[in-house]
Structure 1
């Protein structure tokens, strides 16, 4: 993964007051209204937590143990909430749409590709920790 490109592109779209992640949730709920009931908290705290998580993941891209542990824990929590595999694809789609919208003409296909790769990897690590049918974690 191109950490430098991810950092530069995030700096381009990281608006004040969690504007990127607020816009992400607006896009997500507009495109996938069926997921909105999964969010019981107000959007501002949720957006702030998501922004913090995105920055933490980028900061730890070269630390596979941190990524596996942290994203595994997060994945187990998401599994308990009923988050399904296709929902991760919707999240990636809507995050990249929000980034592209905010970035405007400065947002490039390379940035889209880098974020697609990163968000796919994050989803894979989270889903690897989902319990299997026997109730044990998918990660060994």
Structure 2
């Protein structure tokens, strides 16, 4: 059920907004202004767009088959540390995406969609803050 609600929210947002990228990054930079200088070379927004696209694909995999998303999230949390982006700050991006979707959907952001996203964000945060893949695989029974 959660997967369907997450997918529904993303589909509705796609119908209403041709490109979420400017909205997501405006919100991100408002919340985490120290991140904006990291995108100084991204003059046309392609890097931001690709990053958002990768995050959306990872979210869909995470709520679906989980073929790669958990490992990707852990790897990217560690990779971003090389840019002085802590896992806690890295993890805020998922919440920024959810908040942007909530804004775009307006009244169509229902209580069940909100609950689905809240649960997803909690679960994603675990993988962001626990980057040891052997440890999380063992804890999740893989």
TM-score when normalising by structure 2:
0.73
For residues 38-117 of structure 1, the aligned pairs below 5 Å read: 38-42=38-42, 43-64=45-66, 66-88=68-90, 90-117=92-119
- Asked if 1:21 corresponds to 2:21, the answer is yes
* The 10-residue stretch of structure 1 (37-46 or 69-78) with the greater mean CA deviation from structure 2: 37-46
Taking structure 1 as the reference length, the TM-score comes to 0.74
3-state SS of 1:22 partner: helix
The offset of 1:98, in angstroms, is 1.2
SS state at 2:26 partner: helix
- Cα 1:40–1:139 change in 2 (3 A) is farther
Distance 2:74 2:31 in 1: 27
Partner of 1:118: 120
Kindly tell me the number of residue pairs found equivalent between the two proteins: 131
Q: Is there any run of 5+ residues in structure 2 with no aligned partner, and where?
A: 136-142
**C-alpha RMSD of the superposition:** 2.5
Q: Identify unmatched segments of 5+ residues in structure 1.
A: 130-136
CA distance in 2, matches of 1:82, 1:95: 21
1:128 counterpart (117, 127, 130): 130
Question: Displacement of 1:102 after TM fit?
Answer: 0.9
